[in-house]
Structures are given as C-alpha cells and as structure tokens.
C-alpha cells in the first residue's frame, strides 16, 4: 500500500477517534485545555509508534513462528503497559507540570484502546511491512492529536459561549464531538 495513502487515510478518513471510536476516554477527558491535549498527543504518539514497532516484531518473529497467535492481545497489552510506565517516569523527571496536568489520563494510556487497536490493526488484515506499520502508527497518532487539539480548541471556545444550562458540560461536548466526526467523514471520498 502506498505510504501517502496510509498517512491520509489514517489521519483524515479513518481517524482512530472520530471514525473508529477508539481512544474516546482520553479524547473526552483531556480535551478541556489545548495545552494538555498537546502533552497527551506527544505521550500517545511515543507509545503508539514504539508499541506498534515492538508488537509488530513480536507478532512476526515470536507469536506466528511458534503458533501462539492467541497470546497476541495479552502480549500487546503488556508491551503497551511497559511503555506507558517508561513515559510516566520520563515525564515525571523532565516535565513535572505536564505530568501533573495529564493526571490520571497518563496511566490510562495503558488501557487506551486506540494504542492497542492500532497495534492490532497494523499486524492484522492490512498486511503491512514494518515501515508501513510504523508509518500507520505515526499517522494514527497524528490523527488522534489533530482530533484532540481541534476538540480542545472547540471546548475552550465553548467556555465563553452562552450555552443553555441543560446542555452545558458533557452534553454539549458529545454533540460537538459528533459534529466533528461528521466533519471528518467529509474526507471519506479522498482515499
């Protein structure tokens, strides 16, 4: 598959959050401030790319040759959990403010189904090479970041809007997320 097509498809057409509905928990939880969304995007990008690389190698050089593909999900989760712990340790040392801002959502990357979903999709029916799998993971991380940053900007803007009391907070956030998903569906004819 063409690398350019993989990138465009992963970022816009098959956006991991808005089209496949994976990673909705951090999408809704960290999208209240634009600054926090950038930090989460960086952490998810690192974990997603490294996890996909490692899991691709494990799948093709350990699980498939030994006929233990049924262990895929648990092995992938263990790899992702280990990488998140690494990110947590590094962020705590390098950027304590970002570590505090991400709060509970940083350990939630461990259970972020977007990271696991991309790792599984990269080794699944798409039949990617290692380079294509890494590009696919990076493009999905960019798509996740684009959706998260756009949504965070919209939510910051909505704080200044006069929203009816019954729609304030989470209800208007879900409506906005739905409209954002519809906007991204407009790219469906591209790839």
| CB environment 126-152: b (16+ within 10 A), e (fewer) | eebeeebbbbbbbbbbbbbbbbbbbbb
Query: How many domains are there within the chain?
Result: 1
What is the pTM (predicted TM-score) of this model?
0.86
pLDDT higher than threshold 60 for residue 141: yes
- The residue range of the domain holding 165 is 3-189
Q: Tell me the two tokens of residue 23.
A: 């990673």
Task: Give pLDDT tens digits for 73-111.
Answer: 999 999 998 888 888 888 889 888 878 877 776 777 776
Residues 6 or more apart whose CB falls under 8 angstroms from that of 7 comprise: 135, 139, 142
Residues 124 and 40: beta-carbon distance below 8 Å: no
Which whole number is the average pLDDT over 118-138? 92
pLDDT higher than threshold 90 for residue 23: no
Indicate the average pLDDT of the chain: 88
Among all chains, which residue has been given the structure tokens 């990138």? 7
DSSP structure string for 114-172: HHHHHHHHHHTTT---HHHHHHHHHHHHHHHHHHHHHHHHHHHHHTTS---GGGTTHHH
pLDDT at 113: 86
Among the listed residues 70, 69, 155, 80, the one whose alpha carbon sits nearest the alpha carbon of residue 114: 80
């Amino acid at each position: 598959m063409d690398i350019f097509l993989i990138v465009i498809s992963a970022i816009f057409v098959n956006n991991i959050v808005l089209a496949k509905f994976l990673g909705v928990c951090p999408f809704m939880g960290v999208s209240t401030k634009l600054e926090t969304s950038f930090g989460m995007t960086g952490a998810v990008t690192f974990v997603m790319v490294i996890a996909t690389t490692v899991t691709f190698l494990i799948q093709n050089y350990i699980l498939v040759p030994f006929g233990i593909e049924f262990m895929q999900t648990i092995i992938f989760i263990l790899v992702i959990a280990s990488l998140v712990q690494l990110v947590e340790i590094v962020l705590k040392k390098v950027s304590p403010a970002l570590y505090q801002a991400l709060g509970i959502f940083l350990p939630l990357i461990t259970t972020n189904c977007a990271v696991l979903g991309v790792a599984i999709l990269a080794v699944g029916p798409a039949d990617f090479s290692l380079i294509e799998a890494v590009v696919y993971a990076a493009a999905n991380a960019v798509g996740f970041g684009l959706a998260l940053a756009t949504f965070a900007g919209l939510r910051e803007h909505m704080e200044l809007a006069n929203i009816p009391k019954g729609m304030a907070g989470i209800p208007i956030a879900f409506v906005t997320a739905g409209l954002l998903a519809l906007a991204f569906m407009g790219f469906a004819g591209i790839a």
